[in-house]
Amino acid sequence: MKKSHARERRMRRLEGRVAMVTGGANGIGRGCAIRLMSEGAALAIIDREEDTLADLTAEVEAAGGSIFSRAADCTDSDAARAFVAEAESRFGKVDVLINNVGQGARERKSKFLDSDEDVWRFVIELNLFTTMRFSRLVGPGMVARGHGRILNMASEAFLTGPVGSHDYAAAKGGVIGFTRSVARELAPHGVTVNALLPGPIMTRALATSTDPVVHETMASVPVGFVGEPEDIAAMAALLASDEGRFITGQSVVVNGGRWWL
């Protein structure tokens, strides 16, 4: 009985905390939201996909969780500011920020010498600038309270440099540099900042991709299977909890052993 109670306490590591997830309605973001909710966190979720966001909201509420959700574009600075302000008004704080929103060029993907600058700008804005934007919005409150956890979603693309992913790899490299710099700045204030580098994860984008490079990547995972959003969420939950208090400025690779730091 005592062991069972101890295990239950460990699995409610985020009781009383508020977790914000950008791009949280699908894939890794959704997986992180559900895991953090299961560990006791109230949720603030922003995503541009209204239907899937409504589905997530209903699921969380049905499970007895607390959630504030807003359908909006994370690249819209005014919308981001309004969302954070309303979340802080409702919950009084944001303890955990998961900067998850992002994607590659997808249908506009090309080799670098065939690429267009407007695609670079889109990829870098969506992956790097949103990370900086939301961190800037919630960071002051975390510092004022002397506690916070910021988790930035990078990618193993930073390590592997896939052909055609020059913009995405550059953006995720920027996320890692940003993580290290801000981690050093905020560490004295009780705020940790870390980056997660997922490898092949079975999201909607991966499942529907026709890119042969993607399928080669999926077949090359040493552990023999492609990860699930829950695999990233498990590490996010650790870093978001008090058990992650001594981990900051790190680039944590979760990729089944494909590449490592």
Residue 69 and residue 50 in contact, taking contact as beta carbons nearer than 8 Å: no
Residue 154 and residue 251 in contact, taking contact as beta carbons nearer than 8 Å: yes
Q: Which two tokens stand for residue 188?
A: 């004295």
**Measured at the alpha carbon of residue 104, what is the angle toward residues 117 and 50, in degrees to the nearest 5?**
110
Q: Which two tokens stand for residue 12?
A: 């409610």
Q: Which two tokens stand for residue 254?
A: 């979760």
Q: Which two tokens stand for residue 53?
A: 């966001």
6 exposure class (CB count in 10 Å sphere: 0-12, 13-18, 19+) = exposed
How far is Cα 168 from Cα 257, in angstroms, rounded to an integer? Answer: 21
Residue 59 and residue 33 in contact, taking contact as beta carbons nearer than 8 Å: no
Please pick, among 122, 134, 158, 168, the residue that the annotation labels catalytic.
168
Residue 151 and residue 236 in contact, taking contact as beta carbons nearer than 8 Å: yes
Instruction: Please confirm, yes or no, whether 81 is among the known catalytic residues.
Output: no
Which residue numbers are catalytic?
Answer: 168
